[in-house]
Amino acid sequence: MPRKTPPIVLTTLLCLPPAAEAITVHRCEAQNGQITFTTLSCANDEHLAHQEVRPYSPGSAVALMPEAHHEETSGKQTKRREPAIVGGTQDKCGNLIDARQRREAIINRRVITGMSQLDVESALGKPDKITQRNSSTTYRYDLKRGRSAQVDFDERGCVTGKAKSQTAKSPR
Domain ranges of the chain: 22-55, 112-167
Residue whose C-alpha is closest to residue 119's, from 102, 136, 100? 102
Distances in Å between the alpha carbon of 2 and those of 5, 9, 12, 142?
9, 16, 21, 95
> What are the tens digits of pLDDT across the range 109-166?
999 888 888 899 999 999 999 999 888 899 999 888 888 888 999 888 888 875 565 5
Read off the pTM: 0.43
Tell me the mean pLDDT in the region 53-80. 66
Q: What pLDDT shows up at residue 104?
A: 93
Question: What pLDDT, on a 0 to 100 scale, did the predictor assign at position 42?
Answer: 86
The pLDDT value recorded for residue 172 is 41
The strand pairing partners of 27, in sequence order, are: 37, 49
The whole-number pLDDT of residue 139 equals 92
pLDDT score, position 74: 59
Separation in Å, CA 122 to CA 77, 97, 104, 117:
52, 16, 12, 9
Distances 125 to 52, 102, 122, 128 between C-alpha atoms, Å: 76, 15, 6, 9
Cα dihedral 21, 24, 25, 27 sign: positive
